[in-house]
Amino acid sequence: MRWRALLVGFAGALCLAAASDPAERLADPAKEAQARSIFRDVRCLVCQNESIDDSQAELATDLRKIVREQVSAGRSDLEIKRFLTDRYGEFVLLTPRFSLGNLALWVAPFLVVLAGAGLLAARLRYRPPETELTATEAERLQRIVRDETY
Amino acid sequence: MIAEVGAFSLVLALALSVGQVVLSAAGRIRRSPALAGAGEGAALAAFLAVATAFAALMHGFVISDFSIANVAANSHSQKPLLYRVAGTWGSHEGSMLLWCLALTGFGAAAAGLGGSLPRGLRASTVAAQGVLGTVFLAYTVFASNPLMRLVQPPVEGRSLNPLLQDPALAVHPPFLYAGYVGMSVVFSLAIGALVEGRVDAVWSKWVRPWTLAAWSFLTIGITLGAFWAYYELGWGGWWFWDPVENASFMPWLVATALLHSAIVTEKRGALAGWTLFLSLAAFTFSMLGAFLVRSGVLTSVHAFAVDPTRGVLLLMILGVTSGIGFALFAWRAPKLGQGGLFAPISRESALVLNNILLAAATVTVLLGTLYPLIRDAMTGEAISVGPPYFNLTFTPLMAALLILLPAGPLMAWKRGDLRGVVQRLWVAALIAGGSGVLTIALVSPKKALGALGVALGFWLIAGALTEIVERTRAFRVPLAQTLRRLVGLPRGAWGMTLAHLGLGVFVLGAVFETTWKLEAAEALPIGGGLGIGAYEVRLDAVDPVKGANFDADRATLTVTRKGQPVCVARPEQRLFTAGGETTSEVGLCYQGPSHIYLVLGERRDDGAEPRWMVRAYWNPWATLIFLGPGIMALGGFVSLSDRRLRLGVGRRRESKA
C-alpha cells in the first residue's frame, strides 16, 4: 500500500542506520555498546517513529553526540534518560513509562487474557437445562459423526 | 474518451450497487427469488462496471495520458511499463478504486457462488455487501475520483515516488487489498446471519473459505511489504512496529483468530456469538487500517497528501458501517444458542485459548498504535510507544500461544486426553530441547533468550510434523499403509500443518536474525575493506551507471571468507532524474538461508582520496523470515482447495437426497 511505503520510505530516505558512522563512534567498545542501546530507545523527534540509532537527521546526530558524551563521562542509562526527558518530555523515549497515565496501555493486554480466561471458565461450567437431545442436536450430532474431524 | 467511459462506469457501478441493495433487500422481505436473483445480477454488473473503470485508469497510466489529473500527478513517461501499470494503484485515489474493485469482485463472487446458502441468508448477505459497495463507491466517486481530467494537461508527469518503483511493492497493494477487502464478505455474512437470527453449520462452513482466502492474501501482502522494507530501505530491518505496519497486522491477527473460532462453530456449534463478533471485527479493522493510513492522524510529521476531509469521511464510513454491524450484534446475538458442551481439556478449550491470546495480542497492537493519540487527546501529554513496548507485551503473549500451539491439533473434541497428547509430543519436545541446547553450545555469543526462541521454532515445526505422523500412524504400521494414509489426508489437514510449520520457520528466522545479526560500517577508499563476522568485504570500484529513469553510483564489493571469494555484490545509490530523490539499492549475498547485506552510502571527500560509506550486515537465517509466511499462505490456499470447503453442506445434502 502506498501510504505504508511512503511512511517507511520517507523515514528510510533520510535515515540509514546512521549511528554506526565511524566518525561518531566511541573508542571504548563497551561504552559504545551502552550508547547504542540507549539510542535504540530514544526517538528522533523530527523523524516519523524513528529512533536516533537509525536517523541521519541533524537533531539525531546532535542527540547521539550528547548521549555519547554523557556515556563517556560515566553516567548511567537512567541518568541519561532522565536528562533527555527533562529536556524533551516523555515523548523522547520509545518505551512508555510505567506510570498511572499509562496504566491502561501496560495492563489492558493482560486484562484481556484474564477476562477471556474468566469467560472460558464460566462457559465450561455452563450446563444446558435440557438433558435430552433435541431434534436439531441429534441432527448435528449425526453430521459431526459423519464429517471427519480436523 | 476512454477515461470518460471509465468515469461513467464508476458512477454506473454506484447506481448498480444501490440497485443491489434495494433488489436484494426487497427479495428478502418479499421472499421473491426473482428479486433476489436480480440483486445478485446487479452485484455482478457492479463488479464489471468497476473493472471497466479500473481498466480505463490503467490504460491512462500505460499510455501516459497526462490529461488525467491522477496520471499527471503520479506517473512519468520514462517509467518502465511495470511501474506505469502499478501506478494505477499507487495513489490515494487509485488505491481506493482498487479497494472498490476488490469489494465488488468479492461481492460478485459471493453472489455467484452462493448457491449452497439458504435463500434468506444469501439475499441478506448480498444486500449487506451492496451497502458496503455503495458507501465506498460513493466515497470514490464524490471525494476521491481518479478519472478526473485536467483542463491544461502537462507535458510530463510528476512520477511515482522512486522508493515505490520496485517489483515487490508493485504487486504488494493488490495482495494486501484482496486480504483487507476479502474480510468484507465475512462481514456481510455475519450481518446476514444476524438479520436471519441463525448461525448454523452451513453458515460457518461458508465463513471459513472466505476468511481463509482473505487471510492468505493478507499474509502474502504483509510479507511482500516486509520484504520490500528489508531490501529497499537499506537498514536491514523488516518490521518496525510502525503504525502503518500495525494497521495491516491487526486485521491479520483478527482473521487468524476467526479462522480458528469458525472451526469450533462449524464442528461443534459452539462460540457462535464470538465467531460472529470476529467476523464483524475483521473488516472493521481493515477499515480502521485504511482510515489510519489515509487520514494522517498518526503521521503528523508527514505532509504526503494527508487530507483531513477525506480522513473524516473515512472515519464516518468506518463508524457507520461497523457501528450498525455491532449494534445489530448487540441486539440479535444474545438470542443465539450456546452450542455443545466441552471439557477444560479439549480441542474447543485449546481453540478458545488461541482466541484469547490472539485477542489480547490484537488489543496490544491496537493500544500501542492508538494510545499516544488517546493520551494526547485526554491530557495533552505526548508519549511515544515504540518497539520496546511491543517486545514487552506482544512477544510474551505470542510466546505463550506458540508454546500451546502443537498440543491443540492433537486434542480430541469435547474431552481431550492430556496424557495422550504429552505422550505424542515428547519427540517434538526432545527435538525442541535439543535444538536449544545445540544453539547454546554452538552459536556465539551465547544468548539464552535466543536459544529459547530457536527451541520454540523447532517445537512448532516438530509439532506440526507430529500431527502428520499421528494421522498416518507412521512408525507404527507398515510403510505402505502410512503412505496410503498420507495420500488420503484431506487437504484441510495439509493446509493446517503447512500453516503451523510455516509459523515455526518464521519464528526461527525472526529469532536468529534479531538475536545474532552483526553490523559494520566504514568509510572505505577504493581497495579498502571491512570485516563482518567471518567475512571480509572489499570495495573494488564505484562506477556511474545509467538506468531507465535514474542515474546511479554502483559499487563493486567482493566478499571473501578466509581469502576465498564468496560473492560479488553491487549495491547502488540512485538519483532519480524526475523528482531528484535518492534511493539506495541493497546488495545481497545469499549464504544458505543467511544474507550478507551491503549498502553503499554517501561519498566523503574529507581526506586525501575519496571514500565511500559502506555498511555491511550479517543477517543469519533471514530468508526464513519471508519463507515462513510464504509457507503459511501456501497452507491457506491448499486448505482452500479442500473439496469439503468447496462443496457446501447444503449442496451435499441435496445430492444425497
The CATH number of the domain where B605 resides is what?
2.60.98
The Cα A128–Cα B338 span in angstroms is: 8
* In chain B, residues 495-514 whose CB comes closer than 8 Å to chain A: 496
Residues B500 and B566 in one domain: no
C-alpha cell at A59: 537533531
Q: How confident is the model at residue A131 (pLDDT cuts 50, 70, 90)?
A: low
Residue A19 shares a structural domain with residue A82 = yes
Q: Is the pLDDT of residue B337 over 60?
A: yes
Q: Is residue B383 in some structural domain?
A: yes
CB contacts < 8 A (A, B): 215
Which B residues in the span 427-486 are in contact with A, Cβ-Cβ below 8 Å? Answer: none
Are B259 and B203 members of one domain?
Answer: yes
Chain A from 13 to 72: CB within 8 A of any B CB:
13, 15-17, 20-23, 40-41, 43, 46-49, 51, 54
Answer whether residue B527 shows pLDDT above 70: yes
- Confidence check: pLDDT of B497 > 90: yes
Same domain? A85 vs A12: yes
Most confident of B44-58, B188-202, B383-397, B561-575: B44-58
Q: Let me know whether B379 and B510 are in one domain.
A: no
pLDDT of residue B3: 93
Please tell me whether residues B161 and B286 are part of one structural domain.
no
Query: Are B266 and B371 within one domain?
Result: yes
Mean pLDDT over B100-117 rounds to 92
Mean pLDDT of all residues in B88-111: 93
Whether residues A60 and A30 share a domain: the answer is yes
Residues B231, B370 share a domain: yes
User: Which CATH number does the domain housing residue A22 bear?
Assistant: 1.10.8.640
Q: B88 and B98 in contact (C-beta within 8 Å)? A: yes
Shared domain for B283 and B375, answered yes or no, is: yes
| B655 domain residue, yes or no | no
SS3 B144: coil
Note down the domain range covering B144: 1-165
- Report the amino acid identity of residue A38: I
Mean pLDDT score of chain B: 89
Say whether both A28 and A53 belong to one domain.
Answer: yes
Q: Which residues of A touch B364 (CB under 8 A)?
A: 108-109
Q: Do residue B252 and residue B127 come from a single domain?
A: no
- In this complex, is the C-beta atom of B91 within 8 Å of any C-beta atom belonging to chain A? yes
Per-residue cell: B413: 473434541
B311–chain A Cβ distance below 8 A for any pair? no
Q: Does B411 fall in a domain?
A: no
Residues of chain A contacting residue B493, judged by C-beta atoms under 8 Å apart:
150
Strands B535-546 and B550-561: antiparallel
In this structure, are B254 and B358 located in the same domain? yes
Report the number of distinct structural domains present in chain A. 2
Q: Are residues A53 and A24 in the same domain?
A: yes
Number of domains in chain B: 4
> What pLDDT, in 10s, does the model give residues B155-179?
888 777 777 778 888 889 899 999 9
Same domain, A67 and A117: no
Identify the domain containing residue A114 by its residue range: 100-149
Q: Are residues A19 and A66 in the same domain?
A: yes
B215/B249 same-domain check: yes
C-alpha–C-alpha distance, residues A66 and A85, integer Å: 13
Higher-confidence residue of B18 and A140: namely B18
pLDDT digits (tens, 9 = 90+) for B387-397: 899 999 999 99
* Residues B193-240: tens digit of each pLDDT: 999 988 888 898 899 999 999 999 999 999 998 998 888 877 678 888
- Rounded to the nearest angstrom, the minimum Cα separation between B12 and chain A is 27
* pTM passes above 0.95: no
Do B322 and B395 belong together in one domain?
yes
Q: For residue B269, give every residue at least 6 positions away whose Cβ sits within 8 Å of its Cβ, in sequence order, or none.
A: A140, B200, B201, B337, B339, B340
Tell me the percentage of chain B whose pLDDT exceeds 70. 96
Task: Please report whether residue B143 resides in a domain.
Answer: yes
Looking at the structure, tell me whether residues A125 and A145 fall in a common domain.
Answer: yes
Tell which residue, B477, B547, B540, B523, has the closest CA to residue B615: B523
Min CA distance, B65 vs chain A (Å)? 21
Q: Is-contact A18 A28, C-beta < 8 A?
A: no
Average pLDDT for residues A138-144, to the nearest whole number? Answer: 81
